[in-house]
Amino acid sequence: MIKNDTWIASLAAKGMISPFEPQQIRRVEDVPVISFGLSSFGYDIRLSPVEFRIFRHIPGTVVDPKNFNPENLEQTKLYTDASGSYFILPAHSYGLGVALERLEIPDNVTVICIGKSTYARCGIIANITPAEAAWRGYLTLEFSNSSSADCRIYANEGIVQLMFLEGEACSVSYENRRGKYQDQQNAVTIARI
């Protein structure tokens, strides 16, 4: 069953989401922002301003998930203007960012991340894997710009929504099996095997 705002707030108070915003925030210091915080049946996390990386073409190379070359990712600049701080995701490109909030998922919960409609309507597709039972850290976030125009990706504002599914505790959690992405830091984490 998908969990509601009361349940999410209760577990956030125990450290599941940090920092935690107990309501939807749509303005910060009188500037409109892409909403973040607690919603009826989810939580909208923010994109960290720490880093955003874009795949770049290196002639003669192939991206290999078993032997990932970090040179395939190029750090992008964080811009700031009256609308806020943002990264530019070029047309028809793919980028990696990191969540501002740290998660510590209980062993009887799995989290599914879905894209926000504001970005979807601009051609941005969020492709994010689940945060499994007992996973903890900062999510690495993946975005594809399917449009033919460059797009701003705002830091410190809502980027994806988390949906929480609770069940019986699993016999082997992400932590128990020593998952390779456990305890991700507040930085982009590249593909590992």
The pLDDT score that the predictor gives to residue 59 is: 83
User: Rounded CA gap, 152 and 148, in Å?
Assistant: 13
Residue 118 is predicted with a pLDDT of: 96
pLDDT in tens, 81-120: 999 999 999 999 999 999 999 999 999 999 999 999 999 9
* In the predicted structure, residue 191 carries a pLDDT above the cut 90: no
Give the pLDDT confidence score for residue 60 in this predicted structure.
82
Catalytic site includes residue 142: yes
Q: Is the dihedral of CA 185, 190, 191, 193 positive or negative?
A: negative
Q: What is the pLDDT of residue 180?
A: 86
Give the whole-angstrom CA distance, residue 135 versus residue 7: 18
Cis previous bond, 19, omega within 30: yes
What does residue 127 show for φ and ψ, rounded to 5 degrees? -120, 90
Q: Please answer whether residues 158 and 45 qualify as being in contact, where contact means their C-beta atoms are separated by less than 8 angstroms.
A: yes
Q: Distance between terminal CA atoms of the chain?
A: 31
CA distance 36 to 20: 10
CATH topology classification for 5-166? Deoxyuridine 5'-Triphosphate Nucleotidohydrolase; Chain A (2.70.40)
Q: How far apart are CA 79 and CA 49, in angstroms?
A: 10
Nearest to 84 by CA among 152, 160, 186: 152
pLDDT of residue 10: 98
What is the residue extent of each domain of the chain?
A: 5-166
Question: Is-contact 32 118, C-beta < 8 A?
Answer: no
**Inter-CA distances, 8 with 114, 125, 137, Å:** 16, 25, 17
Q: 2 forms bridges with which residues in the sheet?
A: 165
Tens digit of each residue's pLDDT (9 = 90 or more) over 127-186:
877 899 999 999 999 999 999 999 999 999 999 999 999 999 889 988 989 988 888 899
pLDDT value, residue 104: 98
3-state SS string over 14-27? CCCEECCCCCCEEE
Give residue 4's Cα distance to chain centre. 20
Confidence (pLDDT) at 149: 97
pLDDT, residue 46, reads 98
By CB atoms closer than 10 A (0-12, 13-18, 19+), residue 93 is middle
pLDDT digits (tens, 9 = 90+) for 61-72: 888 899 988 888
Catalytic position from the list 51, 104, 142, 166: 142
